[in-house]
């Protein structure tokens, strides 16, 4: 890893706090990529894992994980992230295929969709995240001489700051149809910040736009503290997800969008497990029980 990347693997980058979860997802995508029945391919993911000291020893293939698929973290939970990646890939590509010309990745983390998906030639992908995260990603990809397949515009700003000015200043056009993605983001934000984000997406979008986000709907987050998923994540890699999740009562963002005139569908991940024939299934004391994936569309005039 270069000196530049080293400078950015701190709490403002990917080696601490919520930033570390981006590396967890990268490791999961790497494992998914190497599966014989892979749902999503991300050949860059393992390079992020190997470039950050905090996770240099994490597995990037299921064969490297203790107990393999029986491992609650690198088996079931990583497969959840693989399924989520595939489903959201499909949503984004369908959205740009039906008229959206701008993609906005909110809290983009180590997302490499600009590099690995086949986009229309007139599409633009905006990646919003903290400067340290984007700098780390840029350096790893530069070291690989990776080239995006679409116009990619990094927007280095914290979502707790004035990201709207940063986004529009980077060239985002509110009058053109867009598709937005908040993948693994909202449950880290205070309730008021989530409401602001949903309201702002509504204000910045025109008819024909779309939004996908992940939500957690259980009333008491801590009821699953001793689940196999959370326990394995704490014990094996030292990430206490429940400490990172915001404890505010969550707003009804799906209902809010519908009240603004959007159509919105809420799904459990297990529905897509059945659709694709692989992925997590419900289990006792399930940390994934309250997870929902929401897909919303703003009708054309």
Is residue 16 classed as helix, strand or coil in its secondary structure? Answer: coil
C-alpha pair distances (Å), 32 with each of 26, 79, 293: 10, 7, 20
- Give the pLDDT score at 5: 36
Whole-prediction pTM value?
0.94
**Domain containing residue 152:** 3-297
pLDDT band of residue 18 (cuts 50, 70, 90) is confident
pLDDT band of residue 121 (cuts 50, 70, 90) is very high
Query: Taking all residues of the chain, what is their mean pLDDT, rounded to a whole number?
Result: 94
pLDDT tops 50 at residue 3: no
Average pLDDT over residues 103-108: 97
pLDDT tops 70 at residue 11: no
Domain count of the fold of the chain:
1
- Give the pLDDT score at 6: 34
Q: What are the tens digits of pLDDT across the range 158-183?
A: 998 999 999 999 999 999 999 999 99
Q: Between vectors from CA 211 to CA 206 and to CA 216, what angle results, nearest 5°?
A: 145
Is residue 265 classed as helix, strand or coil in its secondary structure? Answer: strand
What CATH number does residue 283 fall under?
A: 3.40.50.150
Bridge-based pairing of strands 210-216 and 291-297 is: antiparallel
d(CA 152, CA 253): 28
pLDDT tops 60 at residue 48: yes
H-type alpha helices, the chain: 3-7, 17-33, 45-51, 78-97, 113-116, 131-143, 163-169, 191-203, 228-237, 241-244, 253-259, 269-276
- Give the pLDDT score at 19: 80
pLDDT tops 60 at residue 40: yes
């Amino acid at each position: 890893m270069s000196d530049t990347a080293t400078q950015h693997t701190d709490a403002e980058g990917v080696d601490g706090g919520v930033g570390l979860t981006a590396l967890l997802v990268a490791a999961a995508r790497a494992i998914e990529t190497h599966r014989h029945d892979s749902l999503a391919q991300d050949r860059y993911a393992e390079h992020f894992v190997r470039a950050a000291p905090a996770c240099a020893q994490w597995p990037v293939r299921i064969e490297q994980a203790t107990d393999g698929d029986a491992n609650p973290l690198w088996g079931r939970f990583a497969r959840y992230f693989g399924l989520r990646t595939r489903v959201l890939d499909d949503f984004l590509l369908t959205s740009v295929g039906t008229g959206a010309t701008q993609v906005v990745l909110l809290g983009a983390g180590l997302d490499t969709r600009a590099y690995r998906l086949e986009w229309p030639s007139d599409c633009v992908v905006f990646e919003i995240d903290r400067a340290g995260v984007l700098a780390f990603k840029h350096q790893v990809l530069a070291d690989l001489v990776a080239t995006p397949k679409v116009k990619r515009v990094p927007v280095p700003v914290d979502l707790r700051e004035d990201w709207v000015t940063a986004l529009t200043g980077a060239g985002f056009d509110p009058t053109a149809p867009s598709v937005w993605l908040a993948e693994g983001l909202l449950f880290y934000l205070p309730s008021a910040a989530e409401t602001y984000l949903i309201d702002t997406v509504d204000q910045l979008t025109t008819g024909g736009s779309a939004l996908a986000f992940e939500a957690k709907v259980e009333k008491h987050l801590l009821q699953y503290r001793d689940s196999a998923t959370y326990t394995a994540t704490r014990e094996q890699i030292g990430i206490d997800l429940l400490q990172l999740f915001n404890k505010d009562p969550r707003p009804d963002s799906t209902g809010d969008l519908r009240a603004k005139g959007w159509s919105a569908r809420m799904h459990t991940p297990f529905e897509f497990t059945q659709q694709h024939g692989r992925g997590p299934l419900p289990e006792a004391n399930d940390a994934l029980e309250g997870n929902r994936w929401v897909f919303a569309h703003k009708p054309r005039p």
